[in-house]
Structure 1
Amino acid sequence: MYDLLKGLRVVEGSAFIAGPTCGLYLAQMGAQVIRFDNIAGGPDFRRWPLAQNGSSLYWEGLNKAKKSVALDLSRPEGRELAQRLAAAPGEAGGLFVTNFPAEGFLAYERLKALRDDLICVRVMGWADGGPGVDYTINAAVGVPQMTGPTDDDRPVNHVLPAWDLLTGAYAAFTLVSALLDRRTSGRGREIRIPLSDIAAATLANMGMTAEAALGGHQRARHGNDLYGAFGRDFVTRGGQRIMLVAITPRQWKGVLAVLGIAEPVAALEAELACDFVADEGQRFAHRDRLFPLFEQAFAARDLAELAPVFEADGVCWGPYQPLETAMADPRLFAGNPIFSDLTHPSGQTYPAAGAAATIPQDVRGPARPAARLGQHTDEVLAEVLGMSGAEIARLHDAGIVAG
């Protein structure tokens, strides 16, 4: 946790990954993020994975360091409170993150009527307002058909929701950008960020749409082969599988030296009249000739023998290992300063991630757990909306709020 955004107040009304990720990143940089949900929890409140008591590990992971307000959003009074929270006064407020529909009780024009300089970042599925999630957008842009083994034409869905995560990070970036502009211009605005546009733009930025447009078809499957350079999984003598990547000339020369195959590779270069050091594309183009040399070299060596030499020579590699094994790796989890051991709303104690960035000049604060659903309802209504104890009590009695 850092204090770069200390003093900002962001209200979040969202579910699933992209919107909550945006709020999480802002909270980890010091903003006060207030999340409102239905009294019984939003649509992702019980989403898997679950603790043994049924609490969502997913929900408490994405909502760390946020304050929680519980409202009955099915009733006009609850919806009015959500609107007032999003548009609450204060120079550092008026910042709203949501994935509620563009039309409805949280429509931008409704909120702007309450606060003219409101900044609303709205996560969407499709730009036309149609429903879409990471898996459906990913299928539509063709990525599952580029993924998987070369001898199987079935689409392969990715377990990592890339477009959700990119959208969440982009939403945080655009919110801060709009805030910087508001401080000089005084203008508010709505920013709509559809997952479909993030996916389309990202594929275009990486040259993949140009490749399809100019070649007439999308990229073919290459299994575990790294496209356009040298990289693939190999098995060592002890049966351990690693991923090896050689993109730069230094990486390429280093792995050849460690494996002792510089001479046969040089002979292959002479035969093919190419230069594997200078042109990484040639390593990919001729990978079928190179792979057997590497397979034989790896099969003759144990990983324990290779690992220290790889590290010394700057070879880029990584072991294939399950997450439970990776959690003992000090470079990833065990001893990593971004993690703090926390007791979460589920009652479980386990390491939780704080800000992924490291700022050497600043002191890193520990990660903070998610709130219990509605934990801060009374506090937020009093401090942000200026409501009296009697007013808040009446809302509780009427079942409009909980906490």
Structure 2
Amino acid sequence: MTGILAGLRIVEGSAFIAAPLGGMTLAQLGADVIRFDDIRGGLDSDRWPVTNEGQSIYWAGLNKGKRSIAVDLRHPEGRELLTALITASGEGAGIFTTNMPARGWLSYDELRKRRADLIALNIVGTRDGSAQVDYTANAITGFPLVTGPIGHEGPVNSVAPPWDLATAYAGAMALLAAERHRRLTGQGQRIVLPLQDMALAATSALGYLGEAAVNDDDRPRLGNEIFGTFGRDFRTKDGRYVMICIFSDRHVDALAAAGGFAAAFAAIEKKTGVDLKTDAGRWTARAELCAVIEPWVATRSAGEVGAALKKAGALWAPYLTFRELLQDKDAVRDNPLFTVIDQPGIGRYPVAATPLQFGAVAREAPRAAPVLGQHTDEVLCGILGLSVHEIARLHDEKIVAGPR
């Protein structure tokens, strides 16, 4: 490991998105992240999307760069091995992250008996420990009732899991903060991160709760318009779509230059009495702005619209499918963020490294996700110091397993 977190070791017992993505975030920064799974496979071992042969692309995507150990989680000796691994000595070790039920042998009180300065992150559903996932947490935030076309009745769920993503990165940050605290004070600690509270904190930070409290009002559905400024999707002559936004004075001038709208924008300001250089002005006059922009986009191809907007420096983007994104030169094909790797059991495809760029440490290229149990022997020998004969016995008794 040569990344900025080289020397840090984290043991992970995880499933779904938030916990494994948080661990992968740290692994991509150079931490040695060792995930353990049952020898029969974890909850996510066959989760969709999968290849035509049934190999989980989902699992591979969330576990890049980690090491994998497969253990019989029901066997007392298997649990003892994992307890020893979680609480192993070493300055950068003694860090555990999980979204499994942290009770019994995995409880913080039990684990810290073996290492008093243990750091343990427990991602839970709600603050009382009951189950929640991104989609149920999202339901109470209000977002599904303001997402979707104007006039639509009923909730519209998000395809992307925003609260899982936020929880993953908050969890990674929490582990680093706790590790710093331990270096300064010598104290370990248990960290509890409820997924639902993460969603509520973000909803609060974005002003949605404040708006409801102060204005005593529920925001209506606005379709693809950006509330409080200007932004919307537009359809081109060849049936493609582009998103065009205005977030600053410069964006107003750039869009005017791209489409020759300067006179039309001036006429809108004169007619409505608003200033298009302000968010409130753009929001108030959004219908008038759309009436100018829409026919210009509709009479040109996506290539023509994109070329004009790009040349002028406007704020815009084309709408792409996942396959189109895969072939996009700027976003993926020529982006140093991506490296084509050979993922065992799946094939070759571009995989992203960490998006963080540190000035003092070079960014590591992404590494493939491990096969289940790929590093079992390596971890048992290199960290726990077991002999070859002892490891062989564990395999024979099916307490541990290597790659299938």
- Deviation of residue 324 (structure 1)? 0.6
Alpha-carbon separation, structure 2, partners of 1:264 and 1:354: 45
Tell me the residue number matched to 1:160: 160
Count of paired positions: 402
Q: Is this contact kept in 1: 2:33–2:67, CA < 8 A?
A: yes
Alpha-carbon separation, structure 1, partners of 2:282 and 2:163: 30
Single out whichever of 346-355 and 124-133 deviates more from structure 2: 346-355
Correspondence 1:64-213 to 2 at 5 A = 64-213=64-213
Q: Is this contact kept in 2: 1:64–1:371, CA < 8 A?
A: yes
Alpha-carbon separation, structure 1, partners of 2:221 and 2:26: 37
- Deviation of residue 394 (structure 1)? 2.2
Structure 2: which 5+ runs fail to align? none
Correspondence 1:247-262 to 2 at 5 A = 247-262=247-262
SS of the equivalent of 2:345 reads coil
Q: Is this contact kept in 2: 1:60–1:345, CA < 8 A?
A: no
2:376 counterpart letter in structure 1: T
Alpha-carbon separation, structure 2, partners of 1:91 and 1:362: 21
- Deviation of residue 360 (structure 1)? 5.1
Alpha-carbon separation, structure 2, partners of 1:380 and 1:239: 54
Correspondence 1:53-68 to 2 at 5 A = 53-68=53-68
SS of the equivalent of 1:327 reads helix
Alpha-carbon separation, structure 2, partners of 1:291 and 1:316: 15
- Deviation of residue 2 (structure 1)? 5.5
Tell me the residue number matched to 2:23: 23
Tell me the residue number matched to 1:240: 240
Q: Is this contact kept in 2: 1:51–1:346, CA < 8 A?
A: no
Question: What TM-score comes out, normalization by structure 1 length?
Answer: 0.96
SS of the equivalent of 1:224 reads coil
Say whether residues 1:9 and 2:9 are aligned partners: yes
1:74 counterpart letter in structure 2: R
RMSD, aligned CA: 1.6
Tell me the residue number matched to 1:313: 312
Alpha-carbon separation, structure 1, partners of 2:395 and 2:95: 26
Tell me the residue number matched to 1:282: 281
1:364 counterpart letter in structure 2: R
SS of the equivalent of 1:202 reads helix
2:31 counterpart letter in structure 1: A
Alpha-carbon separation, structure 1, partners of 2:299 and 2:275: 26
1:60-83 CA-partner distances (Å, limit 9, x unpaired): 111111110001112222222222
Alpha-carbon separation, structure 2, partners of 1:306 and 1:53: 41
1:334-370 CA-partner distances (Å, limit 9, x unpaired): 1211212211121412112221223355433321111
Say whether residues 1:270 and 2:270 are aligned partners: yes
Alpha-carbon separation, structure 1, partners of 2:82 and 2:117: 17
- Deviation of residue 105 (structure 1)? 2.4
Say whether residues 1:324 and 2:336 are aligned partners: no
Name segments (4+ residues, structure 1) moved above 4 Å. Answer: none
Alpha-carbon separation, structure 2, partners of 1:302 and 1:394: 67
- Deviation of residue 11 (structure 1)? 0.5
Alpha-carbon separation, structure 2, partners of 1:343 and 1:304: 34
1:249–1:2: structure 2 CA closer, same or farther, 3 Å change rule? farther
SS of the equivalent of 1:239 reads coil
Q: Is this contact kept in 1: 2:149–2:224, CA < 8 A?
A: yes
Alpha-carbon separation, structure 1, partners of 2:22 and 2:298: 45
Q: Is this contact kept in 2: 1:57–1:346, CA < 8 A?
A: no
1:256-276 CA-partner distances (Å, limit 9, x unpaired): 222222223222212222111
Alpha-carbon separation, structure 2, partners of 1:313 and 1:325: 24
- Deviation of residue 173 (structure 1)? 0.8
1:175-225 CA-partner distances (Å, limit 9, x unpaired): 111111111100000111111111111111111110111222432111010
Structure 1: which 5+ runs fail to align? none
1:397 counterpart letter in structure 2: D
2:79 counterpart letter in structure 1: R
Alpha-carbon separation, structure 2, partners of 1:342 and 1:300: 42
1:67-113 CA-partner distances (Å, limit 9, x unpaired): 10001112222222222211111111001111111333211111111
SS of the equivalent of 1:281 reads helix
Single out whichever of 293-302 and 380-389 deviates more from structure 2: 293-302
Alpha-carbon separation, structure 1, partners of 2:217 and 2:47: 37
SS of the equivalent of 1:298 reads helix
